């Protein structure tokens, strides 16, 4: 056992952190080649350079029962809970996966998923899905075979929690509990410097143009480089510029040549738009957008770009510096809802940094933009920007639904917020009657929200529903598209949808934005995560490829599911020998990537 593994298991024994142990165990499945279920630290080449060995089935890891919150009820713990919402006892695991079906031989690379898969510290259970410590799960495909691996990201926040058995940094809803008033004052001081904010990079994962792989969250310091082969934490990604800021969008737009990001400015409400060349660690200032409403910038978890423009959304769900300071979470966590402040979409020219449009739009709530592109007239002049997102009906209720207590107590109820667009409050008084009337009457079912932002100097933009939300069960989030279409016209989006009744998206859906239809995959009681589209090398059609998702199944098992990009039918599944916790975003690392 390596020192790292020894450290991990002894920490686990001391119960500093539930979910920190791997258990060596018996080998199952006669006829399968023997291999220890617990991964020894492997040479990076063991998986990536050679075809994976024949499938082995390792003993199931035991999900950690969701413990009670200290001093209170809740947190679940009932036997009927889904493995998706449990921390799984696998600190570090690697092994060949049993495959049902035929994996395409062209599928040659690694599917890597990040997410907050550890929600317990000893007997203390976290509150919110987004609080969990970052967990990487990967499946490497080669020659029709699959090898899986699973381990935690060694952020400072995670290491400190493991060492001290308590939350030491400010997470999404959890904050360190001060031992005394003096230590509370000390904490406030560290907040202003950003040093008490977490670096728990539990949200996104991207491959940069130079092949480096980064895990991300909303704090800038939570950009952490990982090795996609070993899942080792390589170290902090240091931005070498002087742009500053504490938080940024969790979803930069990354291409082979560049990286675009948004840095909200909480002091002088606005956003800095920055870009970074592939191979560099230095972001460059491109331009600035001043907010048009509210006391603070709107939350920018993600944003879209087109070929020539960056789209900067300003929604009424705005950051709140006061809430960042609080010891206990507020209903909207670090945010506040300011309907009266209005909602806007800004468009910045990538080349000049100039704002070419800034329009007021109907109120909206979105975490994930899907894509954007330029609409042109017959002469090829750009007349408008089309920007699509997973829109939550201008309703912030989804944040509450994603509390672990709610996710764990499904009870068969249909509690996933519905897509119906109901205005319960008047829009801001400065809005023209015309626009107000449009908001009150039209566009009443928003799931794939489609913004149209005219570039002719108009004051208002439109927000419409791109297809009938019933097509995907009135639920839709966690989206991917063919990467060749980022910033360009596109037709297909792959996402999680809903089969009612449910309390969380429980289907995979392929949305056709031209036909306005959807194809859905569903397996009763399963929780699938973001389907990531991987194009077939040499493909000319947009949906020629596969969509890969990880499924936490009702029977406690977990598998990577490979769906055909066109038919949306199952091609194969690669089964983990234990259940997987839910995870958020993913990326594809081709075998022949450049790597630094
Ligand atoms: C906001 C601040 C922080 C943390 C932010 C985090 C961790 C945000 C994560 C947001 C995510 C994962 C949003 C995902 C939404 C998914 C949905 C709606 C899915 C629906 C169903 O499919 C800190 C870094 C803690 C501190 C600064 C402020
Ligand atoms: Fe996200």
**32 domain residue, yes or no:** no
- Exposed e or buried b for every residue in 27-38, given b needs 16+ CB within 10 A? eeeeeeeebebb
- Please state the residue numbers annotated as binding site for Fe cation: 251, 301, 368, 585
CA of 200, closest atom in ligand 1 = 24
CA of 246, closest atom in ligand 1 = 27
Nearest residue to 14 via CA among 124, 86, 122: 122
- Best residue among 127, 130, 300, 476 to mutate for probing ligand 1's pocket (most ligand atoms within 8 Å of CB) is 130
**27 domain residue, yes or no:** no
330 Cα–ligand 1 center, Å: 15
The pLDDT score that the predictor gives to residue 179 is 73
CA of 504, closest atom in ligand 1 = 21
Nearest residue to 394 via CA among 372, 373, 425, 370: 425
- Best residue among 367, 401, 527 to mutate for probing ligand 1's pocket (most ligand atoms within 8 Å of CB) is 367
- Do residues 508 and 494 touch, judged by C-beta distance below 8 A? yes
The pLDDT score that the predictor gives to residue 186 is 65
**68 domain residue, yes or no:** no
Q: State whether the beta carbon of 367 lies less than 6 angstroms from ligand 1.
A: yes
- Best residue among 132, 155, 218, 396 to mutate for probing ligand 1's pocket (most ligand atoms within 8 Å of CB) is 218
The pLDDT score that the predictor gives to residue 188 is 65
**Tokens 């979470």 found at:** 329
* Whole-complex ipTM: 0.95
- Do residues 335 and 299 touch, judged by C-beta distance below 8 A? yes
**12 domain residue, yes or no:** no
Spatial distance between the Cα atoms of 293 and 245, rounded to a whole number of angstroms: 21
CA of 478, closest atom in ligand 1 = 22
Domain limits at 459? 83-422+444-590
The total domain count for the chain is 1
**262 domain residue, yes or no:** yes
The pLDDT score that the predictor gives to residue 23 is 27
Q: Are strands 145-152 and 448-454 parallel, antiparallel or unpaired?
A: unpaired
pTM, to two decimals: 0.86
**29 domain residue, yes or no:** no
The pLDDT score that the predictor gives to residue 29 is 27
Q: State whether the beta carbon of 125 lies less than 6 angstroms from ligand 1.
A: no
Nearest residue to 200 via CA among 158, 142, 163: 158
Hey, whose CA ends up nearest to atom 20 of ligand 1?
A: 477
Spatial distance between the Cα atoms of 449 and 453, rounded to a whole number of angstroms: 13
Nearest residue to 145 via CA among 95, 103, 93, 101: 103
Q: State whether the beta carbon of 334 lies less than 6 angstroms from ligand 1.
A: yes
For residue 114, give the DSSP letter. E
- Please state the residue numbers annotated as binding site: 251, 301, 368, 585
For residue 4, give the DSSP letter. H
**Tokens 């493995």 found at:** 83
**427 domain residue, yes or no:** no
Per residue of the chain (596 residues), give pLDDT as tens.
333 332 222 222 222 233 223 322 222 222 222 232 333 322 222 222 223 333 333 333 555 544 445 433 332 233 468 999 999 867 789 999 999 999 999 999 999 999 999 999 999 999 999 999 999 999 999 999 999 999 999 999 999 999 999 999 999 999 998 776 666 666 666 666 788 999 999 999 999 999 999 999 999 999 999 999 999 999 999 999 999 999 999 999 999 999 999 999 999 999 999 999 999 999 999 999 999 999 999 999 999 999 999 999 999 999 999 898 888 899 999 999 999 999 999 999 999 999 999 999 999 999 999 999 999 999 999 999 999 999 999 999 999 999 999 999 866 667 777 543 332 222 333 343 333 333 333 323 338 999 999 999 999 999 999 999 999 999 999 999 999 999 999 999 999 999 989 999 999 999 999 999 999 999 999 999 999 999 999 999 999 999 999 999 999 999 999 999 999 999 999 999 999 999 999 999 999 886 55
112 Cα–ligand 2 center, Å: 15
| CB atoms closer than 10 angstroms to residue 290 | 14
Instruction: Tell me the Cα Rg of the chain.
Output: 23
**DSSP reduced 3-state for 43:** coil
Q: State whether the beta carbon of 175 lies less than 6 angstroms from ligand 1.
A: no
- Do residues 161 and 174 touch, judged by C-beta distance below 8 A? no
Ligand nearest to the CA of 130: 1
Q: State whether the beta carbon of 477 lies less than 6 angstroms from ligand 1.
A: yes
- Between the alpha carbon of residue 438 and those of residues 191, 345, 421, the distances in Å are 43, 17, 12
- Exposed e or buried b for every residue in 516-551, given b needs 16+ CB within 10 A? eebbbbbbeebbbbbbbbbbeeeeeebbebbbbbbb
Hey, whose CA ends up nearest to atom 3 of ligand 1?
A: 172
The pLDDT score that the predictor gives to residue 177 is 85
Nearest residue to 309 via CA among 370, 386, 420, 401: 386
**558 domain residue, yes or no:** yes
Q: State whether the beta carbon of 218 lies less than 6 angstroms from ligand 1.
A: yes
**Tokens 């020192």 found at:** 3
**Exposed, middle or buried by CB within 10 Å (0-12, 13-18, 19+), for 174?**
buried
In sequence order, the 6+-apart residues with CB closer than 8 A to the CB of 437 are none
**DSSP reduced 3-state for 156:** helix
The pLDDT score that the predictor gives to residue 69 is 52
Ligand nearest to the CA of 477: 1
586 Cα–ligand 2 center, Å: 10
């Amino acid at each position: 056992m390596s020192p790292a593994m020894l450290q991990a298991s002894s920490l686990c024994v001391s119960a500093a952190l539930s979910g920190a142990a791997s258990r060596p165990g018996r080998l199952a499945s006669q006829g399968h080649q023997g291999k220890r279920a617990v991964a020894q630290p492997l040479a990076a080449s063991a998986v990536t350079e050679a075809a994976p060995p024949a499938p082995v089935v390792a003993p199931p890891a035991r999900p950690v029962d969701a413990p009670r919150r200290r001093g209170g009820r809740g947190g679940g713990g009932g036997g009927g809970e889904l493995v998706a919402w449990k921390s799984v006892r696998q600190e570090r695991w690697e092994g060949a996966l049993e495959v049902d079906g035929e994996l395409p031989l062209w599928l040659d690379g690694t599917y890597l998923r990040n997410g907050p898969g550890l929600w317990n510290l000893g007997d203390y259970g976290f509150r919110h899905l987004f609080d969990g410590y970052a967990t990487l799960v990967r499946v490497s495909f080669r020659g029709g075979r699959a090898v899986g691996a699973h381990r935690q990201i060694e952020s400072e926040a995670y290491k400190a929690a493991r060492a001290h058995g308590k939350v030491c940094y400010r997470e999404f809803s959890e904050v360190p509990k001060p031992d005394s008033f003096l230590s509370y004052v000390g904490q406030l001081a560290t907040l202003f410097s950003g040093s008490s904010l977490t670096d728990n990079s539990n949200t996104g994962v991207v491959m940069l143009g130079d092949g480096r792989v980064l895990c991300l969250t909303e704090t800038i310091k939570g950009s952490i480089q990982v090795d996609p082969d070993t899942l080792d934490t390589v170290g902090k990604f240091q931005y070498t510029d002087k742009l500053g800021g504490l938080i940024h969008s969790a979803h930069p737009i990354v291409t082979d040549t560049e990286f675009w990001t948004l840095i909200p400015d909480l002091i002088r409400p606005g956003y800095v738009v920055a870009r970074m060349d592939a191979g560099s660690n230095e972001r460059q200032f491109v331009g600035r957008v001043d907010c048009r409403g509210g006391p603070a910038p709107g939350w920018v978890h993600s944003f879209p770009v087109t070929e020539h423009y960056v789209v900067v959304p300003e929604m009424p769900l705005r950051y709140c510096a006061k809430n960042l300071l609080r010891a206990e979470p507020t209903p909207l966590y670090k945010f506040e809802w300011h309907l009266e402040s209005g909602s806007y979409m800004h468009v910045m020219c990538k080349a000049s940094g100039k704002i070419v449009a800034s329009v007021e739009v109907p109120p909206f709530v979105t975490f994930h933009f899907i894509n954007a592109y330029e609409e042109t007239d017959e002469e090829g002049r750009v007349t408008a920007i089309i920007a699509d997102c997973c829109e939550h009906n201008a309703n912030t209720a989804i944040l509450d639904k994603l509390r672990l207590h709610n996710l764990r107590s499904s009870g068969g109820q249909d509690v996933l917020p519905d897509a119906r667009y109901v205005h319960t409050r008047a829009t801001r008084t400065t809005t023209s009657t015309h626009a107000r009337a449009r908001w009150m009457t039209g566009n009443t079912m928003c799931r794939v929200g489609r913004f149209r932002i005219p570039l002719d100097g108009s004051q208002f933009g439109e927000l419409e529903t791109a297809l009938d939300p019933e097509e995907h069960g009135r639920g839709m989030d966690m989206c991917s598209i063919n990467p060749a279409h980022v910033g360009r016209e596109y037709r297909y989006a792959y996402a999680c949808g809903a089969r009612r009744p449910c309390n969380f998206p429980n289907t995979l859906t392929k949305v056709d934005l031209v036909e306005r239809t959807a194809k859905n995959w569903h397996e009763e009681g399963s929780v699938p995560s973001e389907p990531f589209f991987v194009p077939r090398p040499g493909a000319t059609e947009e949906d020629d490829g596969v969509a890969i998702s990880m499924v936490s199944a009702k029977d406690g098992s977990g598998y990577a599911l490979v769906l055909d990009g066109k038919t949306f039918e199952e091609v194969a599944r690669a089964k983990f020998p234990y259940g997987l916790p839910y995870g958020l975003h993913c990326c594809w690392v081709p075998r022949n990537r450049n790597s630094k």
